[in-house]
């Protein structure tokens, strides 16, 4: 190093200057949240040594590196890479990412409506938000978004901020996505029209018949518990005696909203969930304590591979106390607790501090290795390839993690909530032609066009009459096919006929929603679910299981004939 360089005055960038502030604010947050944040770990002096080394390197790069560098970017990158050595859910968000992430649960926004995670430099869809434009366009859990408007969205350096920037935008604008999907050899191109993403989390609440209700919860946000109570009270006023609670595709959210919901179903003073960590200050037990709205009556809970975190806490509590019959497929398996720590510049560290456990002692978290997120992120693909989504016998249990419910039924720990009644994923009516219709929004656009042209005629009747009597005709499907041809989709009569039930149901649901549902402001999408649920194999099985759910509630397990693995 030349003498001129060594004598140059030290010029600290904003990133270098803010490092002590970041450390300080982190320590302060630790003090507020439980005496000393680092208690139980290395001494603060050891942490300070590491910080001093890092600051020294950063200053040397800033002042002496041959080219100009953005040290703010270096700081963000190094923090992100450091956290990759930990569990898959500890994460760092810069200020833009933190604001966008909080808006998922706290306020509305304009975008395409997906929950996503970035693993191994690839954007994975956790779940499309119910009623949002991505769901309408056919985006599915496990899809990989590899390009946006023909620009790559995968590869080294992809960040949450980058994803938010390209996926969010003014409502009504279109975004073209390049999708890779398990089971399909070729990339799928999907056009999604951005819209206002609703803050509602109760998607549907209606009576199936005089005694049976259906309630769909898509996430656990700030308003979920209040929405849930309002919906449940309305169902009870209509004669509710049996309930289906649908948590499929629900990625979680605020734990206390899930436990408050559990408390509405579970009587007395019972454990709902507990957490344990390295520091006992983060250990917590949550118990039932209120007189709930539906503590008696057969209850069925639907879960699948998209049900995660708070959804699993709720389903696990109900299953362990033999309060609900759980139907569907094994849930996601996220049982790590993150504490959000806001840093001085608006960025946020979400640090894993403990694990969730169900009342019986089961860990919800599926296995992972520190610093090895690739296999973890590929879990849904592995489930597909192993056959687990289609056959209960393919579910692998850790026989060393056997637990029992209150009534003595065997349940397994070590990864998600396994249903009492397994129902396979239904892909029989899928086809490439169907995915192409989804990819260019043909079904939605045709349905909206039809609804506009026939709205006055349709509104003369009731929605009940529409559900029971309206048929999507051959002429309508032929017109839809012509729209698809004009959009560049080559007609495939064989695949059209094969997927006809799905196309017809989707078309009918969207027409019904547009004509009858868009005027109400409760956030409910009852019109869609009332049309589509009867074609849903998990729902179809669930409505037939209330006899067993009633036996479960009475503690008559021997007569239930519930298959266990």
**pLDDT above 80: residue 14:** no
pLDDT surpasses 50 at 10: no
Report the predicted TM-score, pTM, of the whole model to 2 decimal places. Answer: 0.77
Where residue 372 sits, what CATH number does that domain have? 3.90.226.10
Q: Are residues 389 and 312 in the same domain?
A: yes
Compute the mean pLDDT over every residue in the chain, rounded to the nearest whole number. 85
- Domain containing residue 147: 108-197
Task: Name which of 36-50, 263-277, 340-354 the model is least confident about.
Answer: 36-50
Whether 136 maps to a domain, the answer reads yes
Q: Are residues 118 and 252 in the same domain?
A: no
Whether residue 439 is found in the same domain as residue 486:
yes
DSSP state string for 259-279: HHHHHTT--SS-EEEEEE-SS
Cβ 23 vs Cβ 51: under 8 Å: yes
Q: 391 and 278, same structural domain?
A: yes
* Structure tokens belonging to residue 87: 């569990």
Q: 184 and 217 share a domain?
A: no
Known catalytic residue at 309: yes
Q: Residue 32: its pLDDT value, please? A: 35
Q: Which of 197, 218, 253 is the last residue of a domain?
A: 197
386 is catalytic: no
Q: What is the reported pLDDT for 563?
A: 47
Domain CATH for 119: 2.30.42.10
Q: Catalytic: which of 216, 334, 440, 508?
A: 334
Predicted local distance difference test score (pLDDT) of residue 562: 52
Q: Give residue 293's pLDDT band: very low, low, confident or very high (50, 70, 90).
A: very high
pLDDT digits (tens, 9 = 90+) for 438-470: 888 789 888 888 988 898 999 999 999 999 999
Work out the pLDDT band at 503, boundaries 50, 70, 90: very high
Query: Tokens at residue 163, please?
Result: 């994803």
User: Could you tell me which residues are beta bridge partners of residue 421?
Assistant: 327
Total of domains in the chain: 4
Q: Is the domain of 297 the same as that of 348?
A: yes
For residue 415, is it within any domain?
yes
What sign does the dihedral 248-251-255-260 (CA atoms) show? negative
Residue 468 lies in a domain: yes
> Does the residue 84 lie in any domain?
no
Residue ending a domain, among 168, 197, 226, is 197
pLDDT digits over 407-427, tens only? 999 998 878 999 999 999 999
Distance from C-alpha of 224 to C-alpha of 227, rounded to nearest angstrom = 5
Q: Over pLDDT 70: what percentage of the chain?
A: 87
CB 501 within 8 A of CB 565: no
24 shares its domain with 137: no
pLDDT band at 40 (very low <50, low <70, confident <90, very high): very low
Alpha-carbon dihedral sign for residues 499, 523, 445, 468: positive
Q: Please tell me the least confidently modeled range out of 194-208, 252-266, 469-483.
A: 194-208
Whether 152 and 228 map to the same domain: the answer is no
Indicate the residue among 136, 165, 197 that finishes a domain. 197
Q: Is the pLDDT of residue 7 over 90?
A: no
Tell me the per-residue pLDDT of 428-437, one tens digit each, with 9 for 90 and over.
Answer: 999 999 999 9
Examine the domain organization and report whether 232 and 376 are in the same domain: yes
Q: Which token pair is 5? A: 């360089």
Tokens read off for 9 = 């005055």
Q: What is the pLDDT of residues 70-115, one digit of tens each?
A: 888 888 899 888 888 888 889 898 887 787 777 666 646 789 988 7
Whether 484 is in a domain gets the answer yes
Among 251, 405, 392, 391, residue whose Cα is nearest residue 313: 251
**Residue 111: both structure tokens together:** 């975008």
**Is 334 assigned a catalytic role?**
yes
pLDDT tens figures, 352-402: 999 999 999 999 998 888 876 667 778 888 888 889 899 888 877 777 889
The helix/strand/coil state of 411 is: strand
Question: How far is 552 from 132, CA to CA, in rounded Å?
Answer: 36
What is the model's pLDDT at position 357? 95
Instruction: Give the dihedral of Cα atoms 312, 313, 319, 321; nearest 10 deg.
Output: 180
Does some domain include residue 86? no
pLDDT score, position 119:
66
Distance between CA 202 and CA 427 in Å, rounded? 26
Considering the domain architecture, whether residues 273 and 378 belong to the same structural domain is answered as yes
Q: What is the DSSP letter of 509?
A: H
Q: Residue 165's pLDDT is what?
A: 84
pLDDT at residue 28 in the model: 37
Same domain, 157 and 292: no
Assess if residue 252 is contained within a domain. Answer: yes
Set 141, 288, 307, 309: catalytic member: 309
Residues 7 and 152 in one domain: no
Of 437, 441, 434, nearest to 133 by C-alpha is 441
Cα-trace Rg, the chain: 26
pLDDT of residue 1: 40
Residue tagged active-site, from 87, 195, 263, 320 = 320
Q: Is 41 contained in some domain?
A: yes
The top-scoring range by mean pLDDT among 6-20, 75-89, 310-324 is 310-324
- Give the containing element (helix H, strand E) for 178: strand 174-180
Displacement of CA 348 from its chain's centroid (Å)? 20
Helix axis angle for 432-439 and 442-459, nearest 10°, is 70
Query: Which sign does the torsion angle of CA 223, 197, 527, 460 carry?
Result: positive
Is the Cβ–Cβ distance between 326 and 315 less than 8 Å? yes
């Amino acid at each position: 190093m030349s003498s001129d360089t060594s004598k140059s005055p030290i010029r600290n960038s904003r990133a270098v200057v803010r490092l002590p502030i970041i450390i300080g604010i982190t320590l302060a947050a630790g003090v507020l949240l439980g005496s000393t944040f680092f208690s139980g770990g290395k001494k603060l002096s050891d942490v300070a040594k590491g910080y001093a080394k890092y600051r020294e390197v950063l200053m040397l790069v800033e002042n002496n590196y041959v080219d100009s560098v953005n040290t703010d970017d270096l700081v963000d990158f190094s923090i992100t890479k450091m956290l990759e050595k930990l569990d898959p859910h500890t994460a760092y968000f810069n200020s833009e990412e933190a604001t966008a992430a909080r808006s998922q649960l706290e306020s509305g926004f304009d975008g395409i409506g997906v929950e996503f995670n970035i693993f191994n430099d690839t954007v994975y869809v956790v779940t499309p938000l119910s009623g949002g434009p991505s769901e309408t366009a056919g985006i599915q859990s496990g899809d990989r978004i590899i390009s946006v408007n023909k620009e790559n969205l995968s590869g080294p350096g992809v960040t949450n901020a980058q994803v938010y920037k390209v996926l969010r935008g003014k409502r009504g604008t279109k975004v073209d996505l390049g999708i890779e999907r398990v089971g399909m050899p070729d990339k799928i191109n999907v056009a999604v029209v951005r819209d206002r993403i609703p803050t509602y989390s109760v998607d549907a609440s209606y009576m199936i018949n005089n005694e049976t209700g259906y309630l769909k919860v898509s996430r656990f946000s700030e308003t979920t518990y209040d929405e849930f109570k309002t919906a449940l009270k309305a169902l009870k006023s209509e004669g509710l005696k049996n309930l289906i609670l649908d948590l499929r595709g629900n990625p979680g959210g605020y734990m206390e909203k899930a436990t408050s919901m559990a408390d509405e179903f579970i009587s007395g003073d019972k454990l709902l969930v507990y957490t344990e960590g390295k520091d006992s200050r983060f250990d917590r037990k949550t118990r039932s304590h209120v007189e709930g709205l539906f503590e008696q009556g057969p209850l069925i809970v639907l879960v699948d591979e998209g049900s995660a975190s708070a959804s699993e806490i709720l389903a696990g509590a109900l299953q362990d106390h033999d309060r609900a019959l759980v139907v569907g497929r094994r849930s996601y398996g996220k049982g790590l607790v993150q504490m959000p720590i806001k840093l001085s510049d608006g960025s946020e560290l979400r640090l894993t501090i403990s694990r969730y456990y169900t009342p019986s002692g089961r860990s919800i978290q599926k296995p992972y290795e520190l610093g090895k997120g690739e296999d973890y992120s590929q879990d849904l693909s592995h489930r597909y390839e192993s056959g687990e989504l289609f056959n209960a016998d393919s579910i692998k249990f850790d026989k060393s993690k056997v637990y029992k419910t209150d009534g003595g039924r065997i349940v397994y720990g070590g990864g998600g909530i396994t249903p009492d009644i397994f129902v396979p994923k239904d892909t029989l009516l899928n086809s490439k032609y169907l995915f192409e219709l989804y990819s260019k929004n043909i079904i939605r656009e045709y349905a909206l066009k039809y609804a506009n042209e026939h709205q006055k005629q349709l509104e003369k009747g009731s929605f009940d009459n529409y559900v029971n009597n309206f048929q999507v005709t051959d002429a309508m499907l032929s017109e839809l096919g012509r729209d698809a041809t004009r959009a560049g989709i080559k007609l495939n009569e064989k695949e059209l006929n094969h997927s006809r039930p799905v196309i017809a149901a989707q078309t009918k649901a969207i027409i019904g929603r547009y004509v009858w549902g868009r005027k109400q402001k409760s956030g409910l999408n009852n019109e869609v679910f009332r049309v589509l649920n009867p074609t849903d194999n998990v729902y179809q099985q669930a409505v037939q299981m209330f006899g067993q759910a009633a036996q479960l509630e009475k503690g008559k397990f021997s007569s239930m004939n519930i298959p266990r693995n």
